[in-house]
Homo-oligomer: A and B are copies of this chain.
Amino acid sequence: MKIRSEFTCPLEVTLDMISGKWKPIIIWRLRLGKQQLSTLNKDIQGINQKMLIQHLSELIECGIVEKITYGGYPLKVEYFLTELGWKFLRGLEVFQKIGQEYLGQYDNKSFLSNAR
C-alpha cells in the first residue's frame, strides 16, 4: 500500500487508504457484520483468495478493519469494521446511491464498452 507523501488535501490520503480494486467492496460487504474469508470470497464476484487476503491485510494495517482469530479446527477467523471503517462506509454509501441511479437511468454509457 502506497500513500503519497505530498498531497493537496487530506482527501488524497483517505482515498489512498482504500485504493485497490477490491477494498471498497470489501468494506461494503462488512457492513453486514462480521464475515469469514470464505464468505467474502464467495460473495464478491471475480475476486480470488490471494487478493482478498492482501487487501484485508492492508485495511487492517491502516485501521479500517480488524479480525478475530478463533482457535480449533477447522480454523475460524472473522473480519469486521472498526469505528474508522464505519466512517468510510458512510462515504461509500453515497457512491452506491450514485451507481444505482446512474445504472438505471441511461442505457448507453459508451465508456462501459471498455468493460472487461
Kindly identify, within residues 1 to 48 of chain A, every residue whose CB is under 8 Å from any CB belonging to chain B: 1-15, 17, 19, 21, 24-25, 28-29, 43-46
Give the bracket for the number of chain A residues in contact with chain B: 35 or more
Tell me if A116 is interfacial: C-beta within 8 Å of chain B: yes
With both beta carbons as reference points, the residue of chain B lying nearest to A13 in the complex is identified as B99
What's the number of copies of this chain in the assembled complex? 2
- Out of B4, B9, B45, B109, name the residue touching A7 (CB < 8 Å): B45
Q: Please, which residues of chain B bring their CB within 8 A of the CB of A17?
A: 111
Additional pairs, 7, CB under 8 Å, beyond known A19-B19, A61-B111, A91-B91: A2-B116, A3-B114, A4-B115, A11-B24, A12-B99, A84-B102, A91-B98
